[in-house]
């Protein structure tokens, strides 16, 4: 792909840091297996996968929770559970945001798109490689019912690809020490 192209990938469950939410590892993929919170106050912190090898610069990140269900037969359609999401690197909290899951619906929820780690500085590869996602059930109206279920918890990363390898055209050759070359148009002649 040419330089400057923006691509999207998902940073997903890599390891459990802590959890009182049942089966938090089941939130690793969209597969019909769910992490389940059965009480208000239950929480989990998961370490996310590292950024891709072709990463050059972050454009933005966004918390996403897919196939979320707050199951409560006694709930009316305006009732909701609150899921507090936290993005941190184990020592610094970057963002905390509350997301509502309405009762008795299957929802795909997303947080705010974040272009910086602190309101002004761009995300660094070090921050992204240490990224952790925290989840906590902070409220459930009228009550927790059968629980809050989350099938897939992850961070969507939009990033820019690195520039192509440059060369000195006066020497008539290209020297590459590593990386990937993709030719998607044109002719290649090897003498």
Domains along the chain with CATH numbers:
6-160 (2.60.120.260)
pLDDT in tens, 107-163: 999 999 999 999 999 999 999 999 999 999 999 999 999 999 999 999 999 999 987
Q: Encode pLDDT of 52-87 as tens digits.
A: 999 999 999 999 999 999 999 888 888 999 999 999
79 strand-pairing partners: none
Return d(Cα 24, Cα 18) in angstroms, integer.
Answer: 9
pLDDT at 157: 98
CA 22, distance to chain mean position in Å, is 20
The pLDDT score that the predictor gives to residue 181 is 72
Nearest CA to 61 out of 105, 102, 99, 114 is that of 114
Output the pTM of the full model: 0.84
Per-residue pLDDT tens for 16-62? Answer: 999 999 999 999 999 999 999 999 999 999 999 999 999 999 999 99
Bridging pattern class, strands 93-102 and 147-160 = unpaired
Kindly tell me if the per-residue pLDDT of 1 is higher than 60. Answer: no
Backbone angles phi, psi at 155, to 5 degrees: -120, 125
Q: How far apart are CA 85 and CA 145, in angstroms?
A: 21
- pLDDT value at position 167? 61
DSSP annotation of 72 reads -
pLDDT band at 166 (very low <50, low <70, confident <90, very high): low
Average pLDDT score over the chain:
90
Q: Please tell me the distance from the alpha carbon of residue 50 to that of residue 48, in angstroms, as a whole number.
A: 7
| Residue 24, SS3 per DSSP | helix
pLDDT at residue 75, rounded to an integer = 81
Q: Which residues contact 180 (CB under 8 A, 6 or more apart)?
A: 54
**What backbone phi and psi angles, to 5 degrees, belong to 190?**
-115, 120
Please give the Cα distance from 89 to 128 (Å, whole number).
8
């Amino acid at each position: 792909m040419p330089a400057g192209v923006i691509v999207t990938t998902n940073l997903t469950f890599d390891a459990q840091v802590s959890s009182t939410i049942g089966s938090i590892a089941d939130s690793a993929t969209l597969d019909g297996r769910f992490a389940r919170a059965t009480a208000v106050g239950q929480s989990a912190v998961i370490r996310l996968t590292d950024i891709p090898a072709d990463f050059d610069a972050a454009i933005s990140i966004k918390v996403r929770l897919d196939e979320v269900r707050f199951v409560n037969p006694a709930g009316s359609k305006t009732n909701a559970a609150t899921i507090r999401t936290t993005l941190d690197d184990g020592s610094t909290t970057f963002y905390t945001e509350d997301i509502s899951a309405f009762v008795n619906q299957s929802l795909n929820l997303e947080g705010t798109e974040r272009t910086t780690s602190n309101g002004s500085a761009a995300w660094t590869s070090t921050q992204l490689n240490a990224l952790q996602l925290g989840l906590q059930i902070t409220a459930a109206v009228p009550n927790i019912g059968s629980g809050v279920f989350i099938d897939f918890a992850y961070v969507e990363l939009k990033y820019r690809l690195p520039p192509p390898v440059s060369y000195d055209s006066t020497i008539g050759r290209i020297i590459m020490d590593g990386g990937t070359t993709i030719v998607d148009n044109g002719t290649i002649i090897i003498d």
